[in-house]
């Protein structure tokens, strides 16, 4: 059975480090047969810029896969038509002020499944056809993110975590990129991901106006919910419009330090 080595590329810190380490004789990382960038259609400009730069540099092809027209399009479609799947874990707010959260399903539909579908396509398999290859999917989860490691959904697929094997943390990847890559690499995640912490929201507001404006637009779009959701929806856990939040004040308060950690963010595969 032929083995194929595939990089799950998110254009974030860890997966960019893996792309640059492909075939490095000092590591056990092979030359990848190809990489797949699973595009939600909602990444920041810096992520797409990194993608293009790495594609030009890499010794292997990097293919973009996308579910339908992307997550942002699905949100607008669901809002306009009252139907369609979104699956983003937006925060809910009931009339009594209680805050909840919708079920997170966007990772599987807009990140994981497009990769699996593209792998089958690249290997020449039609829908439902038995896969006779062994596919090693290399994933950029580092030593400090081991809780995100998972078992693959298919028997023909192996998940490989070389950064964990090398005992590299995100800091190791950053140090490596400073030496080997002259371009800026940011965090891979949707601009309007509800898992952003207050620090990330403030950073976006202050330094990434395109992403911030997109997040504001989505926040307003989802406000009155969808056909299947009666509660008001928000991007921020406070259950208030994103545009009204003073992040400097929140971060200055010692009594409000509860935030989602980096392990809830979408680095390449949103927790795959």
The average pLDDT across 197-217 equals 97
Beta bridge partners of 135: 4, 157
The residues near 78 (Cβ < 8 Å, ≥ 6 apart) are 84, 85, 86, 226, 227
For helices 209-221 and 198-207, give the axis angle rounded to 10 degrees: 120
Distance CA 184, CA 30 (A): 24
In a domain, 91, yes or no: yes
In a domain, 272, yes or no: no
Q: Containing domain of residue 162, as a range?
A: 3-264
- Residue 20's CATH number: 3.40.50.620
The pLDDT assigned to 4 comes to 98
Distance CA 92, CA 192 (A): 15
Total of domains in the chain: 1
The average pLDDT across 215-219 equals 97
The average pLDDT across 149-159 equals 94
Look at strands 134-139 and 157-160 and give their pairing.
Answer: parallel
In a domain, 88, yes or no: yes
In a domain, 270, yes or no: no
Q: Between the ranges 50-64, 79-93, 99-113, 249-263, where is the mean pLDDT highest?
A: 50-64
Distance of alpha carbon 9 from the chain centroid = 10
In a domain, 162, yes or no: yes
**Residue 23 pLDDT > 50, yes or no?**
yes
Is the distance from CB of 241 to CB of 163 less than 8 angstroms? no
pTM summary value? 0.89
In a domain, 271, yes or no: no
In a domain, 269, yes or no: no
In a domain, 66, yes or no: yes
Is the distance from CB of 2 to CB of 133 less than 8 angstroms? yes
């Amino acid at each position: 059975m032929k083995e194929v080595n595939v990089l799950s590329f998110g254009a974030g810190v860890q997966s960019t480090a893996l792309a640059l380490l492909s075939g490095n004789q000092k590591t056990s990382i092979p030359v990848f047969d190809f990489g797949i960038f699973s595009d939600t259609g909602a990444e920041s400009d810096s992520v797409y810029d990194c993608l293009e730069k790495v594609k030009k540099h890499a010794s292997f092809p990097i293919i973009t896969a996308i579910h339908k027209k992307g997550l942002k399009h699905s949100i607008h479609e669901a809002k306009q038509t009252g139907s369609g799947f979104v699956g983003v874990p937006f925060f809910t707010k009931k009339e009594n002020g209680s805050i909840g959260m919708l079920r997170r399903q966007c990772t599987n539909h807009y990140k994981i499944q497009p990769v699996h579908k593209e792998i089958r396509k690249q290997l020449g398999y039609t829908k439902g056809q038995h896969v006779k290859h062994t596919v090693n999917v290399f994933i950029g989860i580092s030593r400090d993110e081991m809780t995100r490691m998972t078992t693959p959904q298919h028997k023909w697929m192996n998940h490989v975590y070389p950064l964990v094997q090398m005992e590299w943390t995100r800091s190791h990847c950053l140090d490596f990129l400073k030496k080997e890559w002259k371009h800026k690499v940011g965090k891979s995640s949707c601009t309007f991901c509800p898992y952003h912490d207050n620090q990330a929201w403030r950073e976006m507001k202050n330094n990434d106006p395109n992403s911030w404006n997109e997040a504001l637009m989505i926040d307003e779009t989802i406000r009155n919910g969808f056909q299947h959701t009666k509660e008001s929806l928000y991007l921020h856990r406070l259950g208030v419009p994103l545009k009204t939040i003073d992040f400097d004040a929140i971060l200055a308060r010692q009594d409000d330090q509860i935030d989602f950690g980096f392990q809830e963010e979408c680095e390449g595969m949103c927790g795959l």
